[in-house]
């Protein structure tokens, strides 16, 4: 069974956006994903990709307070997923104490073709951010 890739790139500062004084050191982080098809939330298992620290591109864990972090997530989309399906995906990154670091919701649509930007290779199916 062939799988295809959705890439999410985030740049974030290790701080609470509403209160910089609550910045903290983080030993580890994990990413949680939930797909929303209409009003129905569907948890999406990221498997080994849930270990956020493995996908930091400019630093490593532990991450010190105040550090800017670049993160790239590659999420696999099963080939049987229906083309034309629209929805929203929520990505939540939490720290080692299960405290939120960042939450992002993006509207998406499964398409017949897409580009994997990093490798610029054509895929027979893809996912588009709307």
Domains in the chain: boundaries: 3-129
**Token pair of 99 as six digits:** 């405290």
Cα–Cα dist 122/106, whole Å: 22
What's the confidence (pLDDT) of residue 34?
92
Cβ proximity of 125 and 116 under 8 Å? no
Q: Could you tell me the mean pLDDT of each successive run of 10 residues in the chain, 130 residues long?
A: 46 41 75 87 89 89 84 74 81 90 82 48 42
Query: 67-71 — which CB contacts under 8 Å span 24+ positions?
Result: 67/13, 67/14, 68/11, 68/12, 68/13, 68/14, 69/11, 69/12, 69/13, 69/14, 70/9, 70/10, 70/11, 71/9, 71/10, 71/11, 71/12
For 3-129, the fitting CATH number among 2.60.40.1220, 2.60.40.770, 3.30.1330.40, 1.10.1740.10 is 2.60.40.770
What's the confidence (pLDDT) of residue 53?
92
What's the confidence (pLDDT) of residue 29?
92
Cβ proximity of 49 and 32 under 8 Å? no
């Amino acid at each position: 069974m062939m799988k295809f890739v959705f890439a999410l790139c985030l740049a974030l500062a290790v701080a609470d956006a509403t209160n910089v004084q609550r910045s903290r050191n983080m030993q580890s982080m994990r990413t949680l994903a939930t797909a929303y098809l209409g009003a129905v939330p569907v948890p999406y298992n990221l498997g080994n990709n849930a270990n956020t620290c493995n996908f930091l591109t400019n630093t490593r864990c532990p991450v010190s307070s105040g550090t800017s972090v670049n993160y790239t997530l590659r999420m696999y989309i099963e080939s049987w997923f229906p083309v034309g399906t629209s929805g929203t995906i929520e990505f939540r990154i939490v720290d080692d104490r299960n405290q939120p670091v960042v939450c992002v919701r993006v509207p998406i649509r499964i398409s017949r073709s897409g580009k994997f930007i990093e490798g610029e290779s054509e895929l027979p199916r893809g996912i588009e951010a709307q």
